[in-house]
Structure 1
C-alpha cells in the first residue's frame, strides 16, 4: 500500500536537494512540482524501494505562434509534462543499458523479438503537488477554501478576461519569436500592460491552508451537502444574502468543437468532462490540459510512441498522488479515469489502466498558498516563477532549467543553436531515441524499426503501429475532438 505522505515527502526532499538555479524566490514566487517515482518490490522480502527518477517544476507554456517546426522549443512547461519528459530520458538510458547487454534495474527481455518489459516488482507512480489543470481542477469549494475569483454577474462584465481563477499561467508571447528572455521585472511590466489594455491577468487559485487540516485534505469525496454556500449578493431589502454553491475555476479553455463554458454564476460556470487547452494571455496555445494528458497516459502509457517500438507493454502509472491543495476524489476520478473507462478494442500490450488516486496532507513549500502566507509587505507582488526545472536520474546533464521554451539564461544570439535547446524538447528526445536505435544490434531491432524509409520524427511515430492503433481507439471512443498536431511541426530530423 502506498503512503501518500511518504511519497510527497520523498519528492519534496528531492526538490530541496537541487541547486538554487531556477527555483522560486521565497515569499514572492510560487511554482508547481510533479515527479515520477519508481517503486521496486523485492521478490525475496517485504522490502519496497522508492526512488524519484524524474522531477519537474513549472507553470507555463508557449503560444501557438512560438512553436517551432524544428522541434527545438519546449512547448509545454507545466510541471506534470516536465516530469514525464524527464522520465522519458530516464527510460531511454535504461533501454540503452538493456540493449547493450548491461544490467538494467528497469527492463528485461520480453517474449517478442526486440521487445522489453519491466523487471518483476517494478512499477511507477506519479506525484503532483496540485490537482492537474483542466477538468480535475473544476471542483466544489468547501468552507475551508476561499473563493478563487470574483463573482460573475454577466458575460459582458468579463470582456477581455478569461473569467475564472487560473492555476497556471501560460507564457506571454513576446513580439518576435527570437527575443532575449524576459527578466521577472520585464514580465511583470508586460503583465501590467496587458491588464491596462483589458487583457487582465486571471486570478490565481487560492485556499486557506490554515483552516484545512490533514483529515480534510484526505477526504475521499466532497458531498453536495458539505458545500459552503457562497454569498453572491443581497437577496432582499432586509439584508439577507442569496447563497449558491461554487466551484474552483480553471483557465483551460474548451477545445474547438466543444460548446464554450456556460459561464453561469456559481457551480454552473464550467462544463465538466471535456477536453481543454491551456490558456494564454492574448494568444491561444495548442497544449492540452494536464488532466487530459494524464487521462491519455492511463490508456496509451506515458512512454510515448517512440519508446513503444521497444516495449511489449505500455507503461502506465498505477497510482497518482496529489499534494495538499483543493481536492475532490470524485472529480479526479472523473477527469483521469471515468472518461476513458469504456474504451475497448485496444491492441495487445495496451489496456485501460485507471490509477489509484491518493492525496497527501503535506503541502509543497513553494505552493501559491504557502508563498502568499510568507509574503512580506514591500517585496513586490506574488507571481508564478518564470523558470521550469527538470531533474532526472541520468548520468549526462541530469539538470535542465528552461524559460520561454529554451534553456534558462540563453541570449537572443544563441537561439536556434544546440546550446539553446532544452534536453526535453522534441528534437533532443528524438536524437536520444535515434542514439538508442544505433546502439541496438541490427539483428535485435524490433520489426517496426527495420524500414529504411524512416527519416523524420513523424515517420518514427507513425511506424509505431500498435501505439497508433491504440491511439485511434482512444481517439474515436473517448476523445474525438482531441486536436491533431500540425504535421509541419513534426517533420524535423
Structure 2
C-alpha cells in the first residue's frame, strides 16, 4: 500500500515547497528532517491516503542552565522532537474540532464518558532522514567506511589480547553450538566443537582481538546519563556500550534532553500523544512504522534501541502496551544532510556547520509554519524575550494553552473523569492528573529506564 521510498519522497517534496526561512545555506549548513504522516485506509477502494501532518528540521538543544521556568523555550530542537511536537499541535486542533461538534479527520467518540478514539481507518507513521541519535546510531562500520579514529599501536593490541577481548559483528552467525561472551554490551560468540579445536580457537581469538581494534563503530555525540554505566571509550568496537540512556549535547553545557532513540522507545510504550491529550483519549496513539532515509543504518541497532529495550515491560494500565513499530529504510537521501553539504561545499564558504534554525510545519488552520532558533522564534529581539511574541507555537506553554481551550469548550457533562472535581492550575497539575499515563510511565521507568532524567518540577509550574 506504500513503500519507504514513497514516504521519503513525500517528505522531501513537502520540505522543498516550504519557504526558504529556516532552511540551511546551501554548501555551508546542514540539517536533519523528520515528519509524521497520517495514513487513512479505504478498504472499499483498496487505497491509502497519505498526508504529512507535521514536519520538522533541526539539530540543536539548549543547556539546562538556560531552561525556562515559563515553558516558553524549546529545550530540544532535534528534527524528530520538532516533528512530534508539531503533530501534538495538529492532534490538539483535531480534538478541539471533535469536542466542539465539528468534523475531525482523526477522532471519533469513544465508549467511555469524555473519551475519544482514533478512527479505525487512521494510523500514523514516523519518518526521519537520519538514524536517530543515541543508541540506534551505535553499530559497527563497514570495512570501506572512513574510520573515525586511528588504529591503536601494537602494544595496545597485545594488551587487549591479554585481556581476552573478542570481536563483534553486525552479521549472521553460523548455526552450531556457541558460547556467548559480552564485551561492553555487544555479544560475541565462539564455537565449542571440542578440545581438538583449541589451537584453532586461540588463533581465531587472536585474530578477533586484532580485528576489534581495526574495525570501528559509528559514534553518537549523545553522552550516557549521569549516575549510570558509562562508555569504555576504548579503541575500535570497544568505544561505546549499547542499550544505555543518553543525553544530547547542548550549547556550552549539558542538557536534560534524552536522545531521539530513547524518546522513540518511550513513545512505543506511552504513545506519542503526551500526558495532556491522554486525558481525552481512550487509548494512546502509537506509530505503526518508523521509516529512515538513506544514511548509515543498522536494522539490528534500530530494533535494539526502539523495540528490544522496552519489550519486557509489563503491568501497564488498560490501553497501554509495548507497541514496536515496523522499521524500514528508504533508498532516498535528504539533500540538506551533512554528506550532500560536504559535496557542495567550497573553501570560500568557510567551515561547514549545522543550521542554527529549526522549522516546524503542521497541518493546522492558523500559522502552520513556525521557525525557531535557540529555542525562541527566529529573529526576535531581546526586548520581547519572555513575551508571547517570542514563543514557539510548539513550546510547552503554547501547547498547554491550546489544551486549556479544549477543556473550556468541553461541556461539563462530557468532561473526562480525570479532570472532574480537581483543583488543577499548573502544567504540572494537569500532567500529573493523567492517572493511567503516569502509571504507565512509572512502570516504564521502573522496568526499563530507571535513570531517565526528568525535568525539575519547578520548571513545570507555569500556567
- TM band (smaller chain): 0.7 to 0.9
SS of equivalent residue, structure 1 residue 337: helix
Partner of 2:461: 491
**Counterpart-to-counterpart distance in 2, 1:222 and 1:366:** 28
**Counterpart-to-counterpart distance in 2, 1:242 and 1:370:** 30
Q: Structure 2 residue aligned with 1:403, among 370, 373, 395?
A: 373
Q: How far does residue 379 in structure 1 lie from its aligned partner after superposition? A: 1.4
* Alpha carbons 2:271, 2:285 under 8 Å: kept: yes
User: How big is each residue's C-alpha offset from its partner over 1:366-393, in whole Å with a ceiling of 9 and x where there is no partner?
Assistant: 0100110111231111110000000000
**Counterpart-to-counterpart distance in 2, 1:300 and 1:425:** 20
**Counterpart-to-counterpart distance in 1, 2:241 and 2:268:** 22
**Counterpart-to-counterpart distance in 1, 2:144 and 2:292:** 18
Partner of 1:174: none
**Counterpart-to-counterpart distance in 2, 1:241 and 1:347:** 47
RMSD over aligned CA atoms reads: 1.7
**Counterpart-to-counterpart distance in 1, 2:321 and 2:66:** 35
Structure 1 pair 268–414 and aligned structure 2 pair: CA distance change class (3 A): same
Partner of 2:171: 223
Partner of 2:404: 434
Partner of 1:425: 395
* Alpha carbons 2:269, 2:320 under 8 Å: kept: yes
**Counterpart-to-counterpart distance in 1, 2:59 and 2:172:** 31
Q: Structure 2 residue aligned with 1:465, among 419, 428, 435?
A: 435
Q: How far does residue 77 in structure 1 lie from its aligned partner after superposition? A: 0.2
Q: How far does residue 485 in structure 1 lie from its aligned partner after superposition? A: 2.0
**Counterpart-to-counterpart distance in 1, 2:130 and 2:454:** 27
Partner of 2:424: 454
**Counterpart-to-counterpart distance in 2, 1:454 and 1:271:** 43
Please report the TM-score for the alignment, with normalisation by the length of structure 2. Answer: 0.87
SS of equivalent residue, structure 1 residue 318: strand
Structure 1 pair 241–432 and aligned structure 2 pair: CA distance change class (3 A): closer
The 5 Å alignment of 1:133-282 reads 133-147=133-147, 149-151=148-150, 222-223=170-171, 244-280=214-250, 282=252
Task: Mark the structure with the bigger radius of gyration.
Answer: 2
**Counterpart-to-counterpart distance in 2, 1:152 and 1:137:** 21
**Counterpart-to-counterpart distance in 2, 1:243 and 1:256:** 27
Partner of 1:25: 25
Structure 1 runs of 4+ with >4 Å offset: 240-243
Matched pairs, number:
412
Q: How far does residue 121 in structure 1 lie from its aligned partner after superposition? A: 1.2
* Alpha carbons 2:212, 2:237 under 8 Å: kept: no
User: How big is each residue's C-alpha offset from its partner over 1:183-230, in whole Å with a ceiling of 9 and x where there is no partner?
Assistant: xxxxxxxxxxxxxxxxxxxxxxxxxxxxxxxxxxxxxx94179xxxxx
1:414 aligns with 2:352: no
Q: How far does residue 413 in structure 1 lie from its aligned partner after superposition? A: 0.8
Structure 1 pair 241–405 and aligned structure 2 pair: CA distance change class (3 A): closer
Partner of 2:157: none
